[in-house]
Homo-oligomer: A and B are copies of this chain.
Amino acid sequence: MGNKGILLVVSGFSGAGKGTVIKELIHRYDNYALSISATTRSPREGESDGREYFFKTKEAFEQMISEDALIEYACYVGNYYGTPKAYVEEQLSLGKDVILEIEVQGAWKVKKQFPDTLLLFLSPPDARTLRERLVKRGTESAEVIESRLSRASQEAEGIEVYDYFIINDNLNECVESIHQIIQAEHSRTFRNQKLIHTIQVELKEFQKG
């Protein structure tokens, strides 16, 4: 119903399947636009610049910081991650629901700047499954896995600031559930103030007539 897009933060534990869920969401529905983050971390195999991330040098990233060209940025496992501002604002004004895949600390910063932002937290059904997924991923050393588990425990303490808590136990259900949440959010009263105001004014006119 609203004609302006919703800014949407998707966070979740490492291993909760955020990337896959978001990819599928964008593949199925055309109301979404993915915000591509800038990062200083090295590309993984199969990742390419401008698709998964904008891969930047530390110097280039710090240049963006100084030019205020990022909505938020954070340092995570020794690398910078940030959200370029221009693209997000453009897509929102086109009515697209813009998805940011960012960490808990970044989510908070976005919400402070844009209070209408919707914060979604993705989680495996339980902590045991989370650990299994991290181990199976196999692209990281045991040390990194331990560090991520520690990180997950910290992140878990931040879940309460999120608007929605979504279990990713089944890809299809999770994708549909998120889509349903976004559709529902478009009917939020505060996202329809213009329309409501028009009806209020029209009803007053009838009273006078």
Interface residue ranges, A against B (CB under 8 Å): 1, 121, 123, 126-128, 130-131, 149-150, 152-153, 156-157, 159-160, 162-167, 177, 180-181, 183-185, 187-190, 192-193, 195-196, 198-200, 202-207
Contacts and interface: CB of A to CB of B under 8 A. Distances in A.
B162 A189 contact: yes
Q: Which 6 A-B pairs have the closest CB atoms?
A: A127-B202, A184-B184, A153-B203, A181-B184, A156-B200, A165-B189
Chain A interface helix/strand/loop/mixed: helix
B200 A157 contact: yes
Nearest to A190: B160
B189 A180 contact: no
B181 A187 contact: yes
A164 to B, nearest CB: 5
Contacts of A152: 203
Nearest to A187: B164
A121 B196 CA distance: 11
Chain B CB count within 10 A is highest, among A128, A160, A199, A202, for: A199
12 contacts: A123-B199, A126-B198, A127-B202, A127-B203, A130-B199, A149-B207, A152-B203, A153-B200, A159-B200, A160-B196, A177-B183, A181-B187
Given A127-B199, A156-B200, 14 more contacts: A126-B198, A126-B199, A127-B203, A128-B202, A130-B203, A149-B206, A157-B200, A159-B189, A159-B196, A163-B189, A164-B189, A180-B184, A181-B184, A183-B184
Given A163-B188, A165-B192, A150 B207 contact: yes
Contacts of A156: 196, 199-200, 203
A54 B202 CA distance: 35
